[in-house]
A = this chain, B = another copy of it.
Amino acid sequence: MTTQQREISLARGLKGVYLDTTESSDVQGDIGKLIYRGYNIHDLAEQSTFEETIYLLLYGKLPTRAQLNQFGATLHQSGKVPGPVIDIIRSVQKSHPMDVLRTAVSALSAFDPETEDNSPEATLRKGIRLTAQTPTIVCAHDRIRHGLKPVEPNPSLNFAANFLYMLKGEAPSEADTKLMDTDFILHADHGSNASAFGARVAASTLADLHCAVVAGVATLKGPWHGGAAEKVMEMALEIGEESKALSYIEDRLKKGDRVMGFGHRVYTAEDPRARHLRDRAKALGDRMGQPKWWRILSAVEERMRPYARRGICVNVDFWSGSIYYLLGIPEDLFISIFAIGRVPGWAVQVLEQQKNNILIRPLLKYVGPMDVPYVPIDQRS
């Protein structure tokens, strides 16, 4: 019996398909709960730091102070990007920051001493290096394309502060640092999202971590994944003022257009990451004397509330864009910030895939023509 004759049911989008087990993050979409290694995302967002969270994801437990100090030092030492990769960034500087990040991460494989070592120890070390190098790449590119010199990492700053420092050339306020730190924590891992899944697919052929992370970056670029925060902020800018929010959304819904920042494949309850950014976006807007963006987005959220009953709730991307915007970060960098936060999640999932590996290779049902006779070229019409 050939594939053609069998009844075949399709798992389009792999909706509801459980690929494998994980010990890293648990997305409980029905009750809006997110867990990293057993810890509730709310506890981590409120009490942890990104360094701690990376450590937690990679090593499976929260560090002691000595372990954290050591780990922070390792992260700092690993953040440097070799000169030839900076030159490569320079030569592709005109393209989208995610294309530049993808090319630079790919090029790093030429300078990493352990690129093709697939042992868990080397993969972990490479995961730490790539986590540390990603913000350096993103910031160097943004400086270069604006005609500025890249800023060297500052070892006296934490990860989030150092990111803002390398981006802007001056040390950020404590409040801005905390905001960025929380944002990175919220983005660090999220089950089998498309980019982590793409990284797992690459790792499943026994391709190395650089391959997997490049696949992750490539997959994250799409507007249905990393690109959503940018689209939400574009919408807020288009709306322009609070009083126009309602009619804008009515208009969009009437046309059947998607309202960005709502709905999620897994969450049918509110995305638990959203609330942390909602409150912080409000405080930031007030602090900057620009409360209008939060008000516009709140009006949009209010208008969309009836859809929550159908499982279309606000997601993490809805608030993050306005925060980046108020922090003065260019819109086309929003996906790159997501990527910086997500590298640890990609690394830990690659480690999990490697530990109990099986080639990830689904099937496709062929629905094209069959048994077409080959006709020599001069007899074709």
> Which one of B48, B84, B366 lies within 8 Å of A21 (CB-CB)?
B366
Among A14, A224, A266, find the residue whose CB has the most chain B CB atoms closer than 10 A: A14
> Known: A202-B218, A222-B204. Is A374-B106 also a contact (CB below 8 A)?
no
> Which one of B23, B48, B380 lies within 8 Å of A366 (CB-CB)?
B23
Q: Is A73 interfacial (CB 8 A cutoff)?
A: no
Could you tell me which residues of chain A, from 90 to 138, have a CB within 8 Å of some CB in chain B? Answer: 91-96, 99-100, 102-103, 106-107, 109-110, 115-116
In which size bucket is the chain A interface?
35 or more
Say how many copies of this protein the assembly contains.
2
Q: Which residue of B lies closest to A225 (CB)?
A: B205
Contact status B224-A204, CB under 8 Å:
yes
Q: Is A28 interfacial (CB 8 A cutoff)?
A: yes
Q: Is A360 interfacial (CB 8 A cutoff)?
A: yes
Stretch at the interface among A33-41, A242-250, A272-280, A298-306: A33-41
Contacts of A15 in B (CB 8 A): 358, 361
> Known: A22-B365, A38-B372, A44-B374. Is A265-B17 also a contact (CB below 8 A)?
no
Q: Is A381 interfacial (CB 8 A cutoff)?
A: yes
Q: Is A11 interfacial (CB 8 A cutoff)?
A: yes
A45 to chain B minimum Cβ distance, whole angstroms, is: 11
Chain A interface residues toward B at CB < 8 A: 1-3, 8-28, 30-31, 33, 35, 37-40, 43-44, 47-48, 52, 62-65, 68, 84, 87-88, 91-96, 99-100, 102-103, 106-107, 109-110, 115-116, 191-195, 197-198, 201-208, 210-212, 214-215, 218-227, 265-266, 358-378, 380-381
The 6 closest A-B pairs by CB, nearest first: A205-B222, A38-B369, A26-B366, A38-B372, A23-B368, A13-B358
